[in-house]
């Protein structure tokens, strides 16, 4: 495929991610931090996020499986996840975490279970999206081009 | 007869006469001898007898007389010379002693007599003292009774108990048959029997208050004897007995208002109660003076005790009332707080919800800008972007409004291009105005400086709002915007007497007038314009869909800019003019103006801003840590990362210039770390700058950070530009509070 077309696809894809709310401005900040001295910054951060989130999601599942649910621990895990997701700009995950936290506050187990499912789903979705994104970027790099930086004013 | 040397008696012994003389002499002698014996006996018995010498003398006299008479017995018959000698001797002695005694008695008898008078005198005195003591004792009794009564009366603050106790104690002390208290009724025209001693529940007898007897009692402060037949005394059922004496005394009922601080209230109060006391019938007892005095004193004490009870009742009632009010106020305050909290929560949530789509719009518009567009499209996209930026600002300001009301909003001062601001407004408003076929004109005075220092965003918002209103409320005609440098004579406007602008060297007042030819506003609606959410009732405003918030926000911004905003209109249908003045700073020539209000392009990717700045980052969250590190590395800092507070405290040294710590993680006390760092580095220049990274900037978090001595607080997520500007501010000023 032509370089320009791939680049266009990347831009469109990124656009769609923003439109659908998967990503927010924070992701753009991350991209800005990527430069020649730090070429894989975004990739590293995103990978770290997914490792982290997987661990946290496991903890959450285990915690909710207990007969006596420890809501404090639950809350702290969700807080971590929220922090991580907001740091990379994974907006939908972050929102799901916010909802999760509310249920934790009122100690509603049913709500928490539903939210957990939702968070898992969002994580999964955004992971897929990122994978596609990175694949496109790799293709561009492989073809010798440079990844177009998206600039937004806020 | 021989010469026996006897002496013959003078007379011849007459037998009978001689016999009687003989016997008499004998008895005389006997008596004379027994008298001294008796005397001695009785004197010995008595303790005191001052005249022993007299006794001896008298004794001697008697004894000798007796002896004489005894010896006389022998002289009736023939007796010897010896007897005669003895007789003579005895008589001589007797004579001597008698004379002596007689002489002595002359001295003694007056003395003895005076003793008697003295004795009489002393007896009288003793009787008198007895009487007086009786009197004193009675008085002391009375005093004791009064004290006891007073104590009884004062020991309670309950009205009824006071009165009952008074009657009971009086009855006991004075042994009364009946004791009654008549209180004036509410109307004040009658006296009602309120308390009696003997009857448990007195029936409500009433007696008109203006009886002469009662008047007599009321007009005197003493206890007055009254007739047992008068109506107030007819409490006992009439019987065959003779009623005892009756005394009545007035009891002043003092009102609170009678009390002055320094003097006992004059009994100018008109309200009295009547106390009636009856002695037992069929007894001959009379009212003694001390008893009357007792009654008077008691009446006064009762008055005082009653007024104390009244005061206490009043204060208890007031206290109950206050407590109720307190409870109600507390409830109201809590409700108000709940309402405020609810509103703030709502605002925060709505704010968040509104920002999300806004960001999408802004992001996509920016992306769209990057693509190939025709010039018209580009213009449209730019307008969309600008409008959405403005909207985003407005959303921020909705949250700000609540912060404005907290008073915590601060202006973002910066140098900006004033002309550009007006041009922007014009550009934004032109499309809508041309749709409505309104002509918009802008006049900028020539002496207006091109650049100014102020809050560009909010100034623009204000102007836009005012102009927008002008457009909104005009169906046809024209709108003119004029801006000029307010000269000192224009500064004081007669229409705004409360606005006192103070001209100074570094600042100037910008005056903007927006005149429209629209529907105008009626004079009585003008004051309501700047109130939040208040709208005029005309259909025009309702159809135009305003929320009523705009002018309120504008007013607050203008006030923050130390200015004044007002609207003039000559009435409905005559258009209106909105005028505001704000204080702006005059920039120095050397300052490079910042870029105008356009989507910012991040300038430096390459050269770093803070080469080699040693920074410590403490964050438990791995991802967040990495992002922060990435930011700082990008800016050229030398970043050390720690993930726990212990590690942080271990690692921190005076080489680290800045410490970023995440404070919103529960369980890890960022505040504690800040305190410890402050303790560790006592010298200010050695201490690193401590900045908190947190997800929320509510007042509590801010206060906590300030309290533990942090130098700044940044809201996550942090953008590169924000981090850059924060660091430069911090390093320059060493303090920043806060950056969003």
The secondary structure of B316-370 as a DSSP string is: HHHHHHHHHHHHHHHHHHHHHHHHHHHHHHHHHHHHHHHHHHHHHHHHHHHHHHH
Q: Among B352, B383, B606, B624, pick the best mutation site for testing chain A contact (most A Cβ within 10 A).
A: B624
The tens digit of pLDDT for each residue in B438-476 reads 888 888 888 888 888 888 888 988 898 888 888 888 888
Given a contact cutoff of 8 angstroms between Cβ atoms, the answer to whether A22 and A125 are in contact is: yes
Mean pLDDT of the A113-125 span:
90
Nearest CB partner across the interface for A49, out of B602, B623, B667: B623
Report the share of chain B in percent with pLDDT over 70: 81
- Measured between alpha carbons, how far is B11 from B2 in angstroms, rounded to an integer? 19
Residue B634, annotated as binding a ligand: no
CA A62, A66, A69, A70 dihedral sign is negative
What pLDDT is attached to residue B322? 95
Q: CB pairs below 8 Å between A and B: how many?
A: 129
- Measured between alpha carbons, how far is B472 from B429 in angstroms, rounded to an integer? 10
Q: Is it true that domain B410-487+505-531+548-588 has CATH number 1.10.357.10?
A: no
Structure tokens at B692: 């908190």
Evaluate the omega torsion of the peptide bond into residue A16 and state whether it is cis, within 30 degrees of 0.
no
Closest CA to B636 of B606, B608, B604, B602: B608
What is the residue extent of each domain of chain B? 156-257+267-317, 410-487+505-531+548-588, 614-738
Mean pLDDT of the B650-665 span:
79
Please report the DSSP string for B228-296 in residue order.
Answer: TTSGGGTTSPP-SSPP--EEEEEEE---GGG--SSSPPPTT---EEEEEEEPPTTS-----HHHHHHHH
Length of chain A in terms of residues written: 154
Instruction: Determine the number of helices (DSSP H) and then strands (DSSP E) in chain B.
Output: 17, 18
Q: Given pLDDT bands bounded at 50, 70 and 90, which one contains residue B607? A: very low
Nearest CB partner across the interface for B364, out of A18, A30, A45: A18
Q: Is B324 exposed, middle or buried (0-12, 13-18, 19+ CB in 10 A)?
A: exposed
Q: Is the pLDDT of residue B326 over 90?
A: yes
Distance (Å) from the C-alpha of residue A18 to the closest C-alpha of chain B?
A: 6
Instruction: State chain B's maximal CA–CA distance in angstroms.
Output: 214
Task: Give B348 or B629, the one with higher predicted confidence.
Answer: B629
The model's pTM = 0.36
The tens digit of pLDDT for each residue in B490-535 reads 555 555 555 555 656 678 888 899 998 877 777 777 777 776 555 5
> Taking the domain B614-738, which CATH number applies?
3.40.50.2300
For residue B95, CA distances in Å to B51, B52, B69, B88, B264 come to 22, 21, 13, 10, 88
> Going from the N-terminus, what domains does chain A have, and what CATH number goes with each?
1-143 (1.20.120.160)
Structure tokens at A29: 């900040």
Distance (Å) from the C-alpha of residue A65 to the closest C-alpha of chain B?
A: 23
The tens digit of pLDDT for each residue in B36-53 reads 888 878 777 776 666 777
Structure tokens at B113: 């007599």
Please report residues of A whose CB lies closer than 8 A to that of B362: 152-154
Using CA coordinates, name the residue in chain A closest to B602: A151
Please report residues of A whose CB lies closer than 8 A to that of B600: 153-154
The tens digit of pLDDT for each residue in B55-92 reads 777 888 888 888 888 888 877 777 788 888 888 888 88
Region of B580 please: left (phi>0), alpha (psi -120 to 50) or beta. Answer: beta
Please state, rounded to an integer, the average pLDDT across all residues of chain B.
78
Q: What's the number of CA atoms in the CB half-sphere (13 Å) around residue B329?
A: 6
What pLDDT is attached to residue B133? 95
Mean pLDDT of the B676-693 span:
77
Report the share of chain B in percent with pLDDT over 90: 6
ipTM above 0.85, yes or no: no
- Measured between alpha carbons, how far is B648 from B616 in angstroms, rounded to an integer? 8
Q: Is the pLDDT of residue A70 over 60?
A: yes
What pLDDT is attached to residue B8? 63
Residue B274, annotated as binding a ligand: no
Q: What's the first-to-final CA gap in chain B, in angstroms?
A: 180
Q: Given pLDDT bands bounded at 50, 70 and 90, which one contains residue B129? A: very high
- Measured between alpha carbons, how far is B472 from B519 in angstroms, rounded to an integer? 10
Q: Is the pLDDT of residue B604 over 50?
A: no
According to DSSP, the β-strands at B576-585 and B507-516 are antiparallel
What pLDDT is attached to residue B126? 96
Q: Is the pLDDT of residue B612 over 90?
A: no
Task: Give B686 or B386, the one with higher predicted confidence.
Answer: B386
Mean pLDDT of the A66-86 span:
87
Please report the DSSP string for A33-48 in residue order.
Answer: H-BTTBTTHHHHHHHH
Q: Is B235 exposed, middle or buried (0-12, 13-18, 19+ CB in 10 A)?
A: buried
What pLDDT is attached to residue B665? 54
If DSSP codes are grouped into helix, strand and coil, which group holds residue B697? coil
CATH of B156-257+267-317, one of 2.40.110.10, 3.40.50.2300, 3.30.450.40, 3.20.20.140: 3.30.450.40
Residue A18 in contact with partner chain B when CB distance is under 8 A: yes
- Measured between alpha carbons, how far is B454 from B583 in angstroms, rounded to an integer? 8
Residue B471, annotated as binding a ligand: yes
Residue A76 in contact with partner chain B when CB distance is under 8 A: yes
CA angle B423, B426, B427 (to 5 degrees): 85
Range of lowest pLDDT (B148-152, B223-227, B380-384, B585-589): B585-589
Q: Report which DSSP code applies to B79.
A: B
Q: Is B177 exposed, middle or buried (0-12, 13-18, 19+ CB in 10 A)?
A: buried
Residue B674, annotated as binding a ligand: no
Task: Give A152 or B420, the one with higher predicted confidence.
Answer: B420
The tens digit of pLDDT for each residue in A4-42 reads 888 888 888 888 888 888 888 888 888 877 877 778 888
What pLDDT is attached to residue B331? 95
Q: Is the pLDDT of residue B260 over 60?
A: no
Please report residues of A whose CB lies closer than 8 A to that of B669: none
Please report residues of A whose CB lies closer than 8 A to that of B392: 154
Q: Is the pLDDT of residue B536 over 70?
A: no
Nearest CB partner across the interface for B622, out of A15, A52, A76: A52
Q: Given pLDDT bands bounded at 50, 70 and 90, which one contains residue B327? A: very high
Q: Is the pLDDT of residue A118 over 70?
A: yes
The tens digit of pLDDT for each residue in B340-390 reads 888 878 877 776 777 788 888 888 888 888 888 898 888 889 888 888 888
Using CA coordinates, name the residue in chain A closest to B716: A87
Does A89 sit within 8 Å of B360, measured CB to CB? no
Q: Given pLDDT bands bounded at 50, 70 and 90, which one contains residue B134? A: very high
Please report residues of B whose CB lies closer than 8 A to that of A52: 621-623
Nearest CB partner across the interface for B631, out of A33, A79, A80: A33
Task: Give B501 or A73, the one with higher predicted confidence.
Answer: A73
Please state, rounded to an integer, the average pLDDT across all residues of chain A.
85
- Measured between alpha carbons, how far is B91 from B72 in angstroms, rounded to an integer? 10
Q: What are phi and psi of B441, to 5 degrees?
A: -130, 145
């Amino acid at each position: 495929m032509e370089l320009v077309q791939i680049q266009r696809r990347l831009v469109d894809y990124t656009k769609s991610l923003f439109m659908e709310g998967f990503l927010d401005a924070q992701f753009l900040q991350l991209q800005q931090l990527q430069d020649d001295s730090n070429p894989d910054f975004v990739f590293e951060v995103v990978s770290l996020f997914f490792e982290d989130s997987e661990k946290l999601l496991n903890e959450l599942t285990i915690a909710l499986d207990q007969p006596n649910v420890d809501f404090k621990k639950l809350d702290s895990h969700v807080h971590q996840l929220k922090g991580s997701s907001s740091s990379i700009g994974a907006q939908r995950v972050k929102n799901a975490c916010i909802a999760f936290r509310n249920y934790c506050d009122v100690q509603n187990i049913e709500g928490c279970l539903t939210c957990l499912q939702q968070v898992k789903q969002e994580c999964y979705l955004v992971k897929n999206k990122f994978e596609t994104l990175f694949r496109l970027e790799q293709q561009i790099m492989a073809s010798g081009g440079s990844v177009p930086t998206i600039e937004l004013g806020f | 007869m021989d010469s026996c040397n006897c002496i013959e008696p003078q007379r011849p012994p007459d037998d009978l006469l001689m016999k009687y003389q003989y016997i008499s002499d004998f008895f005389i002698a006997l008596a004379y001898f027994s008298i001294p014996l008796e005397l001695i006996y009785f004197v010995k018995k008595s303790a005191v007898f001052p005249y022993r010498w007299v006794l001896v003398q008298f004794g001697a006299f008697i004894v000798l007389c007796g002896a004489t008479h005894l010896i006389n017995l022998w002289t009736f018959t023939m007796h010897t010379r010896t007897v005669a000698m003895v007789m003579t001797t005895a008589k001589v002695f007797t004579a001597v002693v008698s004379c002596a005694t007689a002489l002595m008695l002359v001295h003694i008898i007056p003395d003895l007599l005076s003793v008697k008078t003295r004795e009489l005198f002393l007896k009288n005195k003793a009787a008198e003292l007895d009487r007086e003591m009786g009197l004193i004792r009675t008085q002391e009794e009375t005093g004791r009774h009064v004290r006891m009564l007073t104590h009884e009366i004062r020991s309670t603050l309950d009205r009824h108990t006071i009165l009952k106790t008074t009657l009971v104690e009086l009855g006991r002390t004075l042994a009364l048959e009946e004791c009654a208290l008549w209180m004036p009724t509410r109307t004040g025209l009658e006296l009602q029997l309120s308390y009696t001693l003997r009857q448990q529940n007195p029936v409500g007898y009433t007696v008109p208050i203006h009886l002469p007897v009662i008047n007599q009692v009321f007009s005197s402060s003493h206890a007055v004897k009254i007739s047992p037949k008068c109506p107030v005394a007819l409490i006992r059922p009439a019987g065959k007995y003779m009623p005892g004496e009756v005394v009545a005394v007035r009891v002043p009922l003092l009102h609170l208002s009678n009390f002055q601080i320094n003097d006992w209230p004059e009994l100018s109060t008109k309200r009295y109660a009547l106390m009636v006391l009856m002695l037992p019938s069929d007894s001959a007892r009379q009212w003694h003076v001390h008893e009357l005095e007792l009654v008077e004193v008691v009446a006064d004490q009762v008055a005082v005790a009653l007024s104390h009870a009244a005061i206490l009742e009043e204060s208890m009632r007031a206290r109950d009332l206050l407590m109720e009010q307190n409870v109600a106020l507390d409830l109201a305050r809590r409700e108000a707080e709940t309402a405020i909290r609810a509103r703030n929560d709502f605002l925060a949530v709505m704010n968040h919800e509104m920002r999300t789509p806004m960001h999408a719009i802004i992001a996509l518009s920016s992306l769209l800008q990057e693509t190939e567009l025709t010039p018209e499209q580009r213009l449209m996209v730019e307008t969309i972007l600008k409008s959405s930026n403005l909207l985003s600002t407005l959303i921020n300001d909705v949250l700000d409004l609540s912060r404005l009301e907290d008073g915590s909003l601060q202006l973002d001062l910066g140098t900006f291009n004033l002309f550009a601001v007006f041009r922007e407004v014009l550009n934004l408003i032109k499309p809508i105005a041309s749709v409505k076929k309104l002509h918009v004109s802008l006049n900028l005075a020539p002496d207006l400086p091109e650049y100014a220092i102020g809050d560009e965003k909010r100034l623009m918002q204000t102007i836009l709002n005012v102009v927008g209103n002008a457009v909104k409320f005009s169906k046809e005609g024209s709108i003119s915007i004029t801006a000029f440098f307010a000269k000192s004579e224009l500064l004081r406007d007669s229409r705004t007497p409360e606005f006192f602008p103070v001209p100074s060297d570094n600042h100037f007042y910008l005056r903007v007038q927006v005149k429209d030819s629209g529907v105008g506003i009626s004079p009585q609606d003008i004051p309501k314009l700047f109130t939040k959410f208040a709208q005029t009732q005309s259909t025009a405003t309702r159809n135009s869909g305003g929320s009523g918030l705009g002018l309120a926000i504008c007013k607050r911004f203008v006030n923050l800019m130390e200015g004044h905003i007002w609207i003039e209109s000559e009435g409905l249908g005559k258009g209106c003019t909105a005028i505001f003045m704000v204080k702006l700073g005059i920039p120095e020539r050397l300052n490079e103006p910042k870029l105008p209000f356009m989507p910012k392009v991040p300038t430096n990717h390459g050269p770093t801003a803070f080469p080699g700045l040693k920074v410590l980052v403490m964050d438990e969250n791995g991802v967040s840590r990495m992002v922060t590190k990435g930011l700082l590395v990008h800016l050229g800092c030398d970043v050390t990362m720690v993930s726990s507070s212990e590690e942080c405290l271990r690692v921190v040294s005076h080489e680290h210039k800045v410490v970023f710590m995440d404070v919103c993680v529960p369980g890890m006390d960022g505040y504690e770390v800040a305190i410890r760092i402050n303790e560790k580095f006592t010298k200010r220049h050695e201490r690193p700058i401590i900045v908190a990274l947190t997800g929320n900037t509510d007042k509590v978090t801010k206060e906590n950070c300030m309290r533990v001595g942090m130098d700044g607080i940044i809201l996550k997520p942090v953008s590169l530009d924000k981090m850059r500007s924060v660091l430069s501010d911090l390093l320059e000023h060493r303090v920043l509070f806060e950056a969003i």
